[in-house]
Amino acid sequence: MNTPSAHLYIVTGASRGLGRAIAEQLLQPGHAVLGISRHAPAAPPGLEQWACDLADPLPVAARLQAWLEALAPANFSSATLINNAAFLAEPRPLRDADAASLSAAVRVGLEAPLLLTAAFLRATREWKADKRALHISSGLGRRAMASQAPYCAVKAALDHLARAQVLEEALLENGAKVVSLAPGIIDTDMQVQLRGAEPSAFPDRDAFVQMKTGGRLDSPAVAAAKVVAYLRRPDFGQQLVADVRGA
C-alpha cells in the first residue's frame, strides 16, 4: 500500500465467504484494505493480502503492529479493524470433540481477535483518526446450541470483549469505538458443514437444512453489504452488542 488513502481497513478471514465479500466491498477510491487469512488467493487491485495462520496469532499481531507503526497517521482519516476470521470445529458434543480442533477454534476465534485488537489499539493510540474495531459475532454467541460449544463460547466472548474494551477506550481522548455484531445467517462453508453433519452428533441439523431450502440464507455479498452499512453508521459504537437483523 504505497498510495496514501483516507480510510484504512483491516479484515481477517478475507480469503473467502463473508470476509472476502467485506474486503471487496470496501475496495473503493480513497480506501486501503488489508486482508489477513490463512490462504491468500489472487486479490483484486488495491487489496493487500497476508497469508497468516491465525491459529498461531502472536507473530501475526506483532507483524500487524509493526506495519501500522510504519504508516504515516496523517494519511488516514479513519482506521478500522474487522475481526471476522473463525474456525468451526466439526459439530459434535464437547466430550467427543477433537482436542486440536477445539484449540484452533479458540485461537482463531478469540485469541487472534484479542491480540490483533491489542496490536491495532497500541499502534494507533496517538492517531487523530476515527478508530473502530468490529468483532463479527453470531446469534450463537447469545443463544446456546448443542454440539456447537466452542463456537458459541468464542462468539459470546467477543461480545463481552467489546463491552470491556469500550470501558477502556472511553478513558482516552481519542479512544476507539467498538461493536460486536451478529451478521445474520449466511450461506457459507460453515452452513454446508452444519447441513452435512451427522444428525446423531448435531441435533439441530434439520433446522439448518430448512434454512437453506426455505431461502432464509443471505449470500456473502448481501451479508457483507449489511455489515459495511452498519460499520458506516453515524451511531456506530452506541450499541456495543448488535445484530444486523435488528439494526
HSE toward the beta carbon, residue 80, CA cutoff 13 A: 29
Q: Extract the C-alpha cell encoding 166.
A: 469500550
Encoded amino acid at 106, one letter: V
| Cα–Cα dist 138/159, whole Å | 9
- Residue of 76, 151, 230, 236 with catalytic role: 151
Q: Record the cell numbers describing residue 223, joined without a space.
A: 451479508
Give the integer Cα–Cα distance in Å for 237 and 132: 8
Tell me how far apart the alpha carbons of residues 122 and 133 are, in angstroms, rounded to a whole number: 13
Q: What number of other Cβ atoms are within 10 A of residue 64's Cβ?
A: 26
Q: What is the DSSP letter of 217?
A: P
CA distances from 42 to 49, 50, 138, 193 (A): 9, 11, 28, 25
Helix axis angle, 220-231 to 17-26, nearest 10°: 50
Q: Is 151 known to be catalytic?
A: yes
Residues designated as active site: 151
